[in-house]
Amino acid sequence: MLNESVKNVKGIGEKFAEDLNLMNVYTVEDLLHYLPYKYDVLEILPLSELIHEDKVTIVGRILYEPSLNFYGRKKSRLVLTVDVENVAIKAVMFNRAFAKKQLNAGDIVTLTGKWDAHRLQITVSNYRKGAQEDSTEIQPMYSVKGDVTNYRLKKVISQALKDYGDQITEILPVSYLTDYKLPARKDAVEMLHFPQNRVQLKHSRRRYIYEEFLLFQLKMQLLRKQHREATEGNAQEYDVEKVDSFIERFPFKLTNAQNASLEEILLDMRSSYRMNRLLQGDVGSGKTAVAAICLYASLTAGKQGALMVPTEILAEQHYQSLQELFGELANVRLLTGSVKAKERREIVAGLEAGEIDLIIGTHALIQDDVLFHDLGLVIVDEQHRFGVEQRRTLRDKGLHPDVLFMTATPIPRTLAITAFGDMDVSQINEMPAGRKEVETLWVKENMFERILNFIIKHVQSGEQAYLISPLIEESDKLDIQNAVDLYHQLIEFFPPEIKVGLMHGRLPADEKDAVMKDYAENKIQVLVSTTVVEVGVNVPNATIMVIYDAERFGLAQLHQLRGRVGRGDKQSYCILIAEPKNEVGKERMSIMTETNNGFELAERDLQLRGPGDFFGRKQSGIPEFKVADMVHDYRALETARNDATFIVNQELLTNDSEYAKLRELLETDPDLHTKLD
Ligand code: ADP
Ligand code: MG
């Protein structure tokens, strides 16, 4: 059986099995699916096609007895002269004195190593007696632990394939194999371990990638379905007329994209399933307005609403604007970590009694003693900054609240359908009319004085600026010190009528409040800050954003910071001060200057940095695939996604015996807690 211990494979003893356990290989099945992390392709090319300093493989006949020299204590140098295409090639091997016995004049050898085209010389890293059978040889490379070597691992995998290979049964319906021209499951596994040629490798990889994606997407689609069907009775009967007149309160007309997203969300709220939706839109695209309307809709259905945001500044800002917007329509309260105990008790009681209609807050909202009377809608802003657990806690507070996640980090399509594959997605892909594009410049540090003069000029004509202070370490303390230093430097540099403010995460909430308020009222013209102003903050009169050490930020974060300006009708500027050390860093700065479109930027950032880095370290929920790479293999991902949607919608897993194997496999997944029937 495939699920028996690896110890049952011939050639694996106690110690070997223990080392395999270190590699998370416990069963025969684990062993068979322990795949190479890369393949070295040894291809024998004509001498004329070898590239200087490349790793190459050549085959030739040894011309003379190799010469061996010792130097230092244990070091040696073995030199062969090899005839390749009637050219005498010098081959140098370091510290392989033992090879002298094996290699004699007249022998044919295959040598792999670094090629020096000028001296016609190869520095050998690998050698073998005899010629390579095919002109191309593919060597799988496994990552190994303990005493396990690639050689030993290949041997036992080969043994396992011989004794257990027939038990690797097909899980895909036959039509998929023929339609997509995929090799059978067993063949694919075998060829991934022992590929004979590139074509085989390519097709077996293709098969494995598709299978990984399909299983994952099926799981996501099933989860989505389970979410939707898990609850009944949260159909929020909101008052359409009231909602319409609420929309009239805004001083602007909603964009088409806002209207479309709003409709999708309201439809979810009206229906009986639990909404689990992601609303994404670039900074300033008007998500908050949509959120406010949805919260209001929930109130007209007699329910409470909650808005959770990542920082206190943002919570306070939302609180103020929502209070203004709702006026007499709702009892809106703010709950953050800095609310005093007495007021907090009062708020907690008010929420439980249902006297508070709408609560805005930070993590403080998800503490155990915060209970709701009847929570209808939860909106989580900048949701990628919250852990999966925190999101779940809030969602589980009410009976079955509808949940809307909002993000201004445009999530590339590939990530949206993997990391958030179990969600529905609404997208605001259009900016309110009349916005001027922010002009982005990338400069070196020696331009700093010119930048300050540029700021003075604009401030004197009534505008305001942000300066994001240098990032030295990812440590709060040093960053704050930087902000403080810069703040003093600027006070000295600027004429006295230009007021400079300082903002960072360690300031007490009331001071932060006061600073932001002064900035919003233009009592402060230049705000020096750490990245705490990153999200949400809205001061339309600010037109200049200067970011120090820009190369140290992710593009998504830079884009967020840039989004703090360009909110009014004046031309705005984002100035990136950066001295990137490598090409990728330079490329990233250039991208920032080339596009203001968050979605485009996100795609390009993803391609440059890979999915792991995209959200920063906090992000969880990005699945790991063995072979598949969701950026590189995005087409397979989309195909698998479409197929999974079809399979789930048509209920093929339960209705069609061709899908029985897939179903069996999915039912072993601990996340899909219920049986599929
Ligand atoms: P987001 O939350 O997506 O960053 P906001 O909702 O804060 O964006 O909107 C940014 C600014 O644009 C706010 O000042 C808001 O009042 C304004 N705004 C929102 N929607 C529109 C619209 N349809 N037309 C004009 N201005 C709008
Ligand atoms: Mg609903």
- Candidate ranges 175-189, 462-476, 634-648; pick with highest mean pLDDT: 175-189
Q: With a 6 A CB cut-off, is 280 part of the ligand 1 pocket? A: no
Give distance in angstroms: CA of 275 to centre of ligand 2.
6
- Average pLDDT of the segment spanning 112-132: 91
Q: With a 6 A CB cut-off, is 285 part of the ligand 1 pocket? A: yes
Specify which residues 440 forms β-bridges with.
574
pLDDT tens-place string over residues 207-230: 999 999 999 899 888 887 877 776
| pLDDT of residue 618 exceeding 50 | no
Indicate left, alpha or beta for 619 from its phi (over 0: left) and psi (-120 to 50: alpha): beta
Specify which residues 423 forms β-bridges with.
none
Q: Please tell me the distance from the alpha carbon of residue 427 to that of residue 152, in angstroms, as a whole number.
A: 52
- For residue 540, give the ligand nearest its CA: 1
Q: Whose CA is nearest to atom 26 of ligand 1?
A: 432
What's the confidence (pLDDT) of residue 640?
A: 92
Question: Whose CA is closest to 377, among 293, 260, 321, 280?
Answer: 293
pLDDT tens-place string over residues 76-101: 999 999 999 999 999 999 998 888 88
Give distance in angstroms: CA of 300 to centre of ligand 2.
14
To test the pocket of ligand 1, the residue of 248, 259, 262, 285 to mutate (highest count of ligand atoms within 8 Å of its CB) is 285
Give distance in angstroms: CA of 563 to centre of ligand 1.
12
pLDDT band per the 50, 70, 90 thresholds, residue 203: very high
pLDDT tens-place string over residues 230-258: 665 578 999 999 999 999 999 999 999 99
Residue 263 C-alpha from the chain's centroid: 29
Q: With a 6 A CB cut-off, is 541 part of the ligand 1 pocket? A: no
In 3-state terms the chain splits into helix, strand, coil percentages (rounded to 5) of: 45, 20, 35
What's the confidence (pLDDT) of residue 619?
A: 43
pLDDT tens-place string over residues 50-60: 999 988 999 99
To test the pocket of ligand 1, the residue of 279, 379, 538 to mutate (highest count of ligand atoms within 8 Å of its CB) is 538
What's the confidence (pLDDT) of residue 204?
A: 95
| pLDDT of residue 533 exceeding 50 | yes
pLDDT band per the 50, 70, 90 thresholds, residue 617: very low
Q: With a 6 A CB cut-off, is 560 part of the ligand 1 pocket? A: no
- In terms of pLDDT, which residue wins out, 419 or 318? 318
What's the confidence (pLDDT) of residue 232?
A: 59
Q: Which atom of ligand 1 is nearest to the CA of 285?
A: 3
What's the confidence (pLDDT) of residue 338?
A: 85
pLDDT band per the 50, 70, 90 thresholds, residue 143: very high
Q: Which atom of ligand 1 is nearest to the CA of 287?
A: 3
What's the confidence (pLDDT) of residue 616?
A: 46
What's the confidence (pLDDT) of residue 537?
A: 67
Cα–Cα distance list, 207 to 32, 297, 471 (Å): 15, 48, 45
| pLDDT of residue 535 exceeding 60 | no
Q: Which atom of ligand 1 is nearest to the CA of 563?
A: 4
What's the confidence (pLDDT) of residue 31?
A: 96
Q: With a 6 A CB cut-off, is 284 part of the ligand 1 pocket? A: yes
Max distance between CA atoms of the chain, in angstroms, equals 99
If you average pLDDT over every residue of the chain, what do you get?
A: 87
What's the confidence (pLDDT) of residue 238?
A: 95
Q: Which atom of ligand 1 is nearest to the CA of 288?
A: 6
What's the confidence (pLDDT) of residue 472?
A: 67
- Average pLDDT of the segment spanning 315-321: 89
pLDDT band per the 50, 70, 90 thresholds, residue 332: very high
Buried b vs exposed e over 24-51: b needs ≥16 C-beta within 10 Å?
ebbbbbbbbbbbbeeeeebebeebeebe
Instruction: Give the contacts of 505 (CB within 8 A, at least 6 positions apart).
Output: 476, 480, 530, 532
Ion ligand 2: protein residues whose beta carbon lies under 5 Å:
234, 269, 402
Q: Whose CA is nearest to atom 19 of ligand 1?
A: 286
Q: With a 6 A CB cut-off, is 564 part of the ligand 1 pocket? A: no
Lowest mean pLDDT among 34-48, 49-63, 384-398, 473-487: 384-398
What's the confidence (pLDDT) of residue 603?
A: 80
Q: By percentage, how much of the chain surpasses pLDDT 90? A: 54
- Inter-residue long-range contacts of 614-620, CB under 8 Å, 24+ positions, other chains counted: 614/412, 614/415, 614/554, 614/556, 615/384, 615/409, 615/419, 615/556, 616/554, 616/557, 618/384, 618/385, 618/387, 619/384, 619/419, 620/387, 620/388
| pLDDT of residue 399 exceeding 60 | no
Q: Please tell me the distance from the alpha carbon of residue 156 to that of residue 464, in angstroms, as a whole number.
A: 68
Q: With a 6 A CB cut-off, is 410 part of the ligand 1 pocket? A: no
Q: With a 6 A CB cut-off, is 252 part of the ligand 1 pocket? A: yes
Pair 671, 219: CB distance under 8 Å: yes
- In terms of pLDDT, which residue wins out, 469 or 262? 262
pLDDT tens-place string over residues 553-565: 888 888 888 988 9
Pair 587, 551: CB distance under 8 Å: no
What's the confidence (pLDDT) of residue 407?
A: 84
Q: With a 6 A CB cut-off, is 304 part of the ligand 1 pocket? A: no
pLDDT tens-place string over residues 406-423: 987 777 766 777 767 777
Q: With a 6 A CB cut-off, is 566 part of the ligand 1 pocket? A: no
pLDDT band per the 50, 70, 90 thresholds, residue 634: confident
The sign of the torsion formed by the CA atoms of 343, 345, 349, 351 equals positive
pLDDT band per the 50, 70, 90 thresholds, residue 534: low
Residue in this structure with the two tokens 């079955």, named with its chain if needed: 400
Give distance in angstroms: CA of 284 to centre of ligand 1.
5
What's the confidence (pLDDT) of residue 620?
A: 42
What's the confidence (pLDDT) of residue 434?
A: 76
pTM of the model: 0.67
| pLDDT of residue 597 exceeding 50 | yes
Give distance in angstroms: CA of 433 to centre of ligand 1.
10
Lowest mean pLDDT among 174-178, 316-320, 350-354, 669-673: 669-673
Q: With a 6 A CB cut-off, is 490 part of the ligand 1 pocket? A: no
- Average pLDDT of the segment spanning 445-460: 94
Q: With a 6 A CB cut-off, is 261 part of the ligand 1 pocket? A: no
Give distance in angstroms: CA of 236 to centre of ligand 1.
26
pLDDT band per the 50, 70, 90 thresholds, residue 392: low
What's the confidence (pLDDT) of residue 432?
A: 87
Q: Please tell me the distance from the alpha carbon of residue 251 to that of residue 234, in angstroms, as a whole number.
A: 32
Q: Which atom of ligand 1 is nearest to the CA of 536?
A: 4
DSSP secondary structure letters along 78-139: EEEEEEETTEEEEEEEES-TTHHHH--TT-EEEEEEEEETTTTEEEEEEEEES--SSSEEEE
Cα–Cα distance list, 342 to 225, 311, 316, 320, 399 (Å): 43, 22, 19, 21, 27
Q: How many CB atoms lie within 10 A of CB 368?
A: 7
